[in-house]
Amino acid sequence: MKPSELRALTVEELKQKEQDTRKELFNLKFRLATGEVENPKRINALRKDIAKILTITSEKSLHQAGSPEAKKVKS
């Protein structure tokens, strides 16, 4: 998922997206252990998506809080 698409979502939607992505990652890791995975590269993509979601959630939280650190973050 592209960061621009994630930035359009609200914090609540981002948290839901994170939960869904973590569930998918768990299921994919489970299938990898049983040898049923078709695309093992998807694991890395999901991990990166989770990192993007967490980064953007953090940026939005800082921006909403109006903290001094938010001024450093480019929206």
User: Is 22 inside any structural domain?
Assistant: yes
The DSSP call for residue 9 is S
19 in a structural domain: yes
Predicted pLDDT of residue 72: 62
Q: What is the pLDDT of residue 71?
A: 57
Does residue 75 form part of some domain? no
- The whole domain housing 43 covers 3-70
pLDDT on residue 19: 97
* CATH code of the domain in which 44 resides: 1.10.287.310
Indicate whether 48 belongs to any domain.
yes
Structural domain contains residue 64: yes
Domains: count for the chain: 1
- Per-residue pLDDT of the chain (75 residues), as tens digits, is 888 999 999 999 999 999 999 999 999 999 999 998 888 899 999 999 999 999 999 999 888 877 666 556 555
Residue 36, Cβ density class (10 Å: 0-12 exposed, 13-18 middle, ≥19 buried): exposed
